[in-house]
Structure 1
Amino acid sequence: MAGSVANSDAVVKLDDGHLNNSLGSPVQAEVYFPRLIVPFCGHIKGGMRPGKKVLVMGIVDLNPESFAISLTCGDSEDPPADVAIEPKAVFTDRQLLRNSCTSGERGEGQSAIPYFPFIPDQPFRVEILCEHPKFRVFVDRHQLYYFYHRIQTLSAIGTVKINGDLQITKLG
């Protein structure tokens, strides 16, 4: 059952990627993700801290334009929640853009990467590891870049948002 998106009642436990039973019975967990559908929004209990990571496994759509994984300070739309880090894969340019947004202002974007790791219709694994003073981002277990914190209160970063041209197969 681990990694399955067929069971929409599955609940994922963020710290160890553990799925509970198919009935969705509550268990002691850091994070509950009731459905792995895109667009996706889930809560990170206690927020981020050095040593904590977010794992997203999925499959890129067959004809993708882009997808993004955002770690935010809540899920507010109006005013928009602060975004601590938002990697965005853009397939037309083969770029992995990343940025933040605090108090409605976008930070200075970054785009330099050694290679573009995503392939249409293929699986991927993204890990965002929180360290002091930066996030390290791995794709398929290879470090791709780091991104210095622009939000200093790490515990406020309590939401994962995923949207775009992908299917989510596992969160942890």
Structure 2
Amino acid sequence: MEDSQLFSKPKTPFTGPLQGGLQEGKSIIVIGTVLPNANRVHVNLECGDDIALHFNPRYDGGPAYVVLNTLQKGNWGTEEHKYESPILQGKPLILQILVTKQTYKISVNGKHFMDYKHRIPITGVKSMFVNDMVNLDFIAYQKPEVVPYKTLFKNGLQPGKDIVIYGLPNPDCKRIEMNFRHKYGIAFHYLSYFDANVVVRNTFENGAWGKEERSGGVPFKKDELFKVTISCDKDQFTVFVNDQQAHTYKHRFAKLEDIDVFEIYGDLQLIFVKPL
């Protein structure tokens, strides 16, 4: 995606700049796993020595809860609490902070968690911090993903390359479709029909669809977060859903370097796509 910033497998504690500063309409996405022995997680949006947003899940012996606050001129403001938390020790964390004119809209694992009104103008926020209580996979700063989604591969597809997709099927989801395209057709068409509970794989070439590969058992659940990894190997595509192998598809279109588009359609909220 244009106008986006990605840190892959960053070490913690992590401090990184936000290119162009914090901007209305963009999201910060933190993806990782909370350590099993975590006592407090810190995710901060920083303006020099001040902290515009301090997002602080705590595990102090009782049920997990979250504290939010702002640090200005060395002084903490009034804490805001949420005495429930989907952010659990030893479990995956997908934190999304959407910047709006009045608030930070905070979502956890695809579900809205709470809003936090700005106490410091967003124009002053230049960097972010994550402490060492999270094992990080990615941090992204970008405009929210939208469906239909399309991204281009500069040098085509190559063996050993993966694409990772995080999303949430809508409660009334009918279908989710993912395609690897080239100039003349679709090399790999991966389509989940929820009502029929079937997954279709196929190739569109020379103006016609090939023979379908069909199997039962859609690997997604409505209104539940998913992680899809599609690996391209020399001989086949392999699809993993929530880190479990779901399907394989042997290449029918052999010129991998000509496959230069990936797209997603369907009834889902798209949270994050890690490109090739």
1:134 is the counterpart of 2:243: no
Q: Percent same amino acid at aligned positions?
A: 25
User: Which residue identity lines up with residue 62 of structure 1 in the other structure?
Assistant: P
- Residue number among 165, 168, 181 corresponding to 1:72 in the alignment: 181
Q: Secondary structure at the match of 2:176?
A: strand
Q: Provide the secondary structure at the position in 1 that maps to 2:257.
A: helix
Residue 19 (str. 1) matches residue 140 (str. 2): yes
* Equivalent residue number for residue 109 of structure 1: 212
Q: Which residue pairs with 2:272 in the alignment?
A: 170
Q: Which has the larger Rg? A: 2
Q: Does 1:63 align with 2:166?
A: no
Between the two structures, name the one with larger relative contact order (CA 8 Å, sep ≥ 6). Answer: 1
* Count of residue correspondences: 146
Is the Cα contact below 8 Å between 1:17 and 1:171 reproduced in 2? no
The residue identity in structure 2 corresponding to 1:150 is R
Q: Contact 1:130 / 1:136 at 8 angstroms: preserved in 2?
A: yes
Higher strand share: 2
Q: Which runs of 5+ in 2 are unaligned?
A: 1-27, 31-95, 100-136
1:99 matched to 2:202? The reply is: yes
Give the Å deviation of 1:116. Answer: 2.6
Distance in 2 (CA, whole Å) between partners of 1:86 and 1:69 is: 6
Quote the offset at 1:5 in angstroms.
8.2
Distance change in 2, residues 1:86/1:5 (3 Å): farther
What is the alpha-carbon root mean square deviation over aligned residues? 2.2
Q: Find the counterpart in structure 1 of residue 14 from structure 2.
A: none
TM value normalised by structure 1: 0.77
Q: Unaligned 5+ residue runs, structure 1?
A: 8-15, 23-33, 75-80
